[in-house]
Amino acid sequence: MPAHIAGTLHATPAPVWLPYPEDVNALLPSLWSRNVVKNADGVLTVAGHPVTDIARDHGTPTLVMDVDDFKARAREYRDAYAHAFSPEQGRSGADVFYAGKAFLCTAVARWVHEAGLGLDTCSLGEMMIARAAGVPGEMVGLHGNNKSVAELDYALDYGVGRIIVDSLDEIDRLETIAAARGVVAPVMLRVTVGVEAHTHDFIATAHEDQKFGLSLSSGMAAKAAEAVVGSAHLRFDGLHSHIGSQIFDISGFQVAAARVLDLRAQIMRTHGVDLPEVDLGGGFGIRYTSQDTPIPVEEMAAELAEVVAKECRGLGTDVPRISIEPGRAIVSPAVFTLYEVGTVKEVHTDTGIRTYVAVDGGMSDNIRTALYDADYSCSLANRNSNAEPAIIRVVGKHCESGDIIVRDEYMGADVAPGDLVAVPGTGAYCRPLANNYNHVPRPGVLAVSADGAEWIVTPESYAQMLSTDPGMTTSTET
């Protein structure tokens, strides 16, 4: 490890969880999609395509998707849950709904459907994408804590297979719309089960003090169930629970499942109805850095299947059909963001020298570090480095001190302007949360396979970005 930089001043210490690399040029495979490797020259390649060519032909910043990796992860979830909940094992089967909020475009919606997954949406725009991609309505679910009349009307017209009701107000609203159409709407109730996942407060969604769901402890969920049972235009299909995001501990899912299944048994006994489905939500964690320890897909499926079967035996009920909603776990590892370095700056701090590597993107394409305190890794992507490893901080170009992409990572100390830096695990919530801060256009998403590369979301031009300003002349592209 380098003892010092710039004379007598030491470099800032690494976080305790960040291991010193034996080879600063090597990739940690578990952080990257399966078709990403480095060639002998240290150039990152995806499905055989060097990122130097991608940068030359498509520009930076660019979100680069390993298409075969994405499709394989979708199939892995499908197969793992189909096996764990198979009727041959005395269970009622399982469905996997891809959570479109993680990242959605027509190509992704089409690939998800081709893999045999359903699609979870939470807005009119997401339903429109699903429909344009040819996803049948019955394979689509609609979430949201404040669904508009327009969204509910569109959902019924589309024929979505499940509307996850989030409030008593929504029950009345949907009843009115369905009655006017003369149809029966398929409904599941989102239940807040009082389980707080071990995750960041802003993405833990099952505790009581938050906007989502119908509270189990206050009796709101039971009241909602009574209202749906009494409706002539709502079909009560089951219950839904979601306890958070980026979860590594299975115990939260186990407790949530037990509470939802107990509520299901109470509703069936009280009202004499059958509730054939239970959705246990998503939130399965992935590995953004070496400190993350996600649960393997097959292990999680087997554990949940055993919990559900055990609880139902104890309650004396049949085993419902189970569904889950992975989004991040499928798309995030399949994507990395490619940047070009613009400046490198050594800054003196109280703990030593920190090396800031500024790239041509930032919080406009990845706001998760600022928003959720998220951690990311990165790698020099266009060459090998012969320099000693140094702790660097990758920052963006925006006028904001919190514009940080990678807080701490080792990179060769010779990183310089013009180099390419790749940040893995950016498939989820990066392009969907992208913004135009400082009037910077949003990047595109490039789908790469052995056959070639194509945009599945095109980069935003200045003309497109500025078209909402009546005072701008946007006839000339920049």
pLDDT at res. 3: 38
Residues that constitute the known binding site = 283, 325-328, 368, 372, 400, 429
Residue 236 has pLDDT above 60, yes or no: yes
In tens, the pLDDT along 403-415 reads 999 999 999 999 9
Question: Which letter, b or e, does each residue of 105-137 get, where b requires 16 or more Cβ atoms within 10 Å of its Cβ?
Answer: bbbbbbbbbebebbbbbbbbebbebbbebebee
Provide the CB-side half-sphere exposure for 97 (13 A, CA).
Answer: 31
C-beta atoms surrounding 405 within 10 Å = 31
In tens, the pLDDT along 304-314 reads 999 999 999 99
Q: Residues 322-343: what's their mean pLDDT?
A: 98
Of all residues in the chain, the percent with pLDDT exceeding 90 is 84
Q: What's the token pair of residue 363? A: 């919080």
Mind giving me the DSSP string for 128-139? HHHHHTT--GGG
Residue 123 has pLDDT above 60, yes or no: yes
Q: Residues 185-199: what's their mean pLDDT?
A: 84
Residue 7 has pLDDT above 50, yes or no: no
164: closest CA among 72, 240, 93? 240
Cα distance between residue 103 and residue 458, in whole Å: 14
Residue 231 has pLDDT above 90, yes or no: yes
Instruction: Look at the block and give the residue holding tokens 């979505």.
Output: 160
pLDDT at res. 2: 42
Cα distance between residue 297 and residue 79, in whole Å: 10
pLDDT at res. 194: 81
365: closest CA among 33, 31, 61? 61
29-66+333-459 matches 92-325 in fold: no
Residue 104 has pLDDT above 90, yes or no: yes
Adjacency order of strands within the sheet including 44-46: 36-38, 44-46, 49-50
Instruction: Look at the block and give the residue holding tokens 């998220």.
Output: 374
Residues that constitute the known binding site for pyridoxal 5'-phosphate = 283, 325-328, 429
pLDDT at res. 198: 59
The full set of domain ranges for the chain reads 29-66+333-459, 92-325
Which has more pLDDT, 210 or 264?
264
Cα distance between residue 76 and residue 324, in whole Å: 13
Is omega for the bond preceding 459 within 30 degrees of 0, making it cis? Answer: no
Cα distance between residue 60 and residue 465, in whole Å: 17
Q: Which of 105, 378, 399, 430 is catalytic?
A: 399
> What does pTM read for this prediction?
0.94
pLDDT at res. 195: 76
Q: Is 460 helix (H, G, I), strand (E, B) or coil?
A: coil
| H/E stretch holding 78 | helix 67-84
Confidence of residue 201 (pLDDT cuts 50, 70, 90): low
Backbone Cα Rg of the chain: 24
**412 contacts: CB under 8 Å, gap ≥ 6:** 24, 25, 380, 385, 386, 387, 388, 389, 390
Cα distance between residue 265 and residue 345, in whole Å: 62
Q: Residues 41-51: what's their mean pLDDT?
A: 98
Q: Does domain 29-66+333-459 have CATH number 3.40.1010.20?
A: no
| H/E stretch holding 409 | strand 404-412
Q: Residues 185-213: what's their mean pLDDT?
A: 76
- Is residue 33 within 8 Å of residue 49, measured between CB atoms? no
Q: Residue 299: beta bridge partners?
A: none
Cα distance between residue 43 and residue 22, in whole Å: 18
Instruction: Look at the block and give the residue holding tokens 């070009």.
Output: 340
395: closest CA among 354, 431, 432? 354
Q: Residues 228-233: what's their mean pLDDT?
A: 97
Q: Which CATH number fits domain 92-325: 3.20.20.10, 3.40.640.10, 1.10.3720.10, 1.10.10.60?
A: 3.20.20.10
- Is residue 459 within 8 Å of residue 418, measured between CB atoms? no
In tens, the pLDDT along 244-277 reads 788 888 888 888 899 999 999 999 999 999 999 9
Q: Is 14 helix (H, G, I), strand (E, B) or coil?
A: coil
Q: Is 105 a catalytic residue?
A: no
Helix 297-315 / helix 67-84 crossing angle, nearest 10 deg: 30
In tens, the pLDDT along 168-185 reads 999 999 999 999 999 999
Q: Which of 31-40, 199-208, 279-288 has the highest mean pLDDT?
A: 31-40
pLDDT at res. 197: 67
Q: Residues 229-254: what's their mean pLDDT?
A: 91
pLDDT at res. 6: 42
Cα distance between residue 389 and residue 380, in whole Å: 11
Confidence of residue 79 (pLDDT cuts 50, 70, 90): very high
Which has more pLDDT, 218 or 109?
109
Pairing of strands 234-240, 277-279: parallel
